[in-house]
Structure 1
């Protein structure tokens, strides 16, 4: 049975990501872990230092939140009507990142699905802070669902790669699963940072092709604009991509994207589901 972690702050955005996950895994036997974390500002200092005014604050929060998350679970079960889906609630007075790591390890979570800020009025952002922090440390794949992105079956799936790292069956398993379940087309995007691939890149490309050959992948070279995020944005629009995938190696391509000034200037937005597959060096 697939184990899916669903962080929630009970907002419309997180509910949208959860609804997406329920549709995305409609035909799959799943256990969904509903995770809510919170550290009240007052507790971070006063409660930890033993301030008498804060005694009992944690207990009050726990009682109220248990009621809220149980009602949230009951509503999901009522509206979902899927015997393949099972829900477990989890709350903690802890940082989101720390608790995500603990639950992922303890429960053997296969994938995390969470929302992010996405486009907001005249501004747009690459990823919200909480989502970015989870992406940086997650030990399992993370599926990011932008604000306002409603479910539709992924038919045009993109994998963005530099070809600088090797691929394996384990790394590509989440992507292969999507291509198989939804009978999607897959487009491999490489940003043209060099005139030609070197020996290592060529070898990695051949390995990738061997693993994805049955899905008849198409390969694309994109110009290296002023930044990689711009190249990706143009690529997604030109091919009408509806699902984006990247493999995250430490200090590799996606890390570079996360650090690009364009993100801090909020000039690039993710508007489609975005799967990040982490790989340990």
Structure 2
């Protein structure tokens, strides 16, 4: 059974991500865990109050969260409900990232699916601050869904890579299963001015081919330029339905995350964005 975690702040974008997840795994036995963390709602910004009042607030927020979660599940289960799908709700007094990481480890979650932005996000940006934090620190693949993206099978998947990373087999299997299920073509895009791969790159490329044996693979090379612009141009030119990147030390994606989130926000991604993790789990 596939295990999918859906964080929610009860925003429209979070609801859309849950509905997308249901469509993505419509024909597969899946347990959806829907998580709401409410620590920030209890403490608020710069709020000082007594310990007793905090405990009262915690209990009120717990009950409120559980009620909203139950109402959310009832609204999305469908009539009749999909017999392959099971839903579990989790109300957690924790921060979003810690709550997700703890649950990912406890339940051995396959993937986190969430909206690109929450209820408090700047509507001018592509990714909200919470989504970026999850990209950075959650030790599990994260699939972010734009609010206005209408579900369609990802027939073309873009995977920018420099072949320098020692890919994680479990992460690639997840991508391979998705690509195989939809008969998708995975476009591996390498930004370089050089024709030949180093022995390390060649080994990693071979590992990639072996791990994605269920997918149709194509390997593309383009000269070095602004990588964000190059990615967006490739998506437009090839009708790409999903973008995949790996978060790892010294990777292009890590450069965008840690050097400046402006670079990441420069990716005006209007399609589902899967961030695979190369972090210890």
Shorter-chain TM-score above 0.5: yes
* 1:243 match: 242
Closer, same or farther: CA 120–156 of 1 in aligned 2, 3 Å? farther
Unmatched runs of 5 consecutive residues or more in structure 2: none
Deviations 1:158-213 (A, max 9, x none): 21111112335433101110121111112111112545432322332233234445
Count of residue pairs brought into register by the alignment: 277
Deviations 1:243-270 (A, max 9, x none): 1112222332210122454726943311
For the 8 Å contact 1:229–1:262, the answer to whether it is kept is: no
Structure 2: distance between partners of 1:183 and 1:143: 19
1:186 equivalent in alignment to 2:197: no
For the 8 Å contact 2:168–2:278, the answer to whether it is kept is: no
Closer, same or farther: CA 38–264 of 1 in aligned 2, 3 Å? farther
Closer, same or farther: CA 57–219 of 1 in aligned 2, 3 Å? same
Please tell me the root mean square deviation across aligned C-alpha atoms, in Å: 2.6
Closer, same or farther: CA 80–259 of 1 in aligned 2, 3 Å? farther
Structure 2: distance between partners of 1:265 and 1:213: 30
Deviations 1:10-41 (A, max 9, x none): 11100111100000000111111110112346
SS in 2 for 1:10: coil
Deviates more, 1:17-26 or 1:214-223: 214-223
TM-score, normalisation: structure 1? 0.88
For the 8 Å contact 1:111–1:143, the answer to whether it is kept is: yes
Structure 2: distance between partners of 1:214 and 1:35: 32
1:279 equivalent in alignment to 2:263: no
* 1:112 match: 112
For the 8 Å contact 1:222–1:235, the answer to whether it is kept is: no
* 1:37 match: 37
Structure 1 segment 227-242 matched on structure 2, within 5 A:
227-242=226-241
- Moved segments of 4+, more than 4 Å: 44-47, 51-55, 118-121
For the 8 Å contact 1:190–1:221, the answer to whether it is kept is: yes
